[in-house]
Amino acid sequence: MQFLSGGQSEVEATKNLNAMNQGPNPWHVSFSYARALQNTCLKTWGGRPENVKAAQDALLLRAKANSLAQLGKYTSDGEAARPARACSSRTTSTK
């Protein structure tokens, strides 16, 4: 069974996946996320080469959190310590 993250924050989706994996299930519960894995990563990167490493680190953090959640072993410790990044409405010129 694949859990979709639509309409949830990254952390909320991870917490819900973790909750579903706290007890035995008659089926394997995994995740099929796009935004819940990529949102912070893309906002951090913002199309700027100097932000690539920070964006990669953000993606790795989300991937690890959801990997643990799939096993029912996720804790949100440290999640709130990360500053939330606001969505930017600016456009980037490629000239």
Residue 32 — φ and ψ, nearest 5°? -130, 85
User: What does the alpha-carbon distance between residue 51 and residue 46 come to, in Å, rounded to a whole number?
Assistant: 7
pLDDT at 94 over 90: no
User: What does the alpha-carbon distance between residue 20 and residue 33 come to, in Å, rounded to a whole number?
Assistant: 15
pLDDT at 87 over 70: no
Predicted TM-score (pTM) of the model is 0.72
- pLDDT tens readout for residues 38-79: 899 999 999 999 999 999 999 999 999 988 998 999 998 867
What is the pLDDT at residue 91? Answer: 35
- pLDDT tens readout for residues 9-23: 899 999 999 999 998
Q: Are 74 and 16 in contact (CB under 8 A)?
A: no
Torsion of CA 67, 68, 72, 75, to 10 degrees: -140
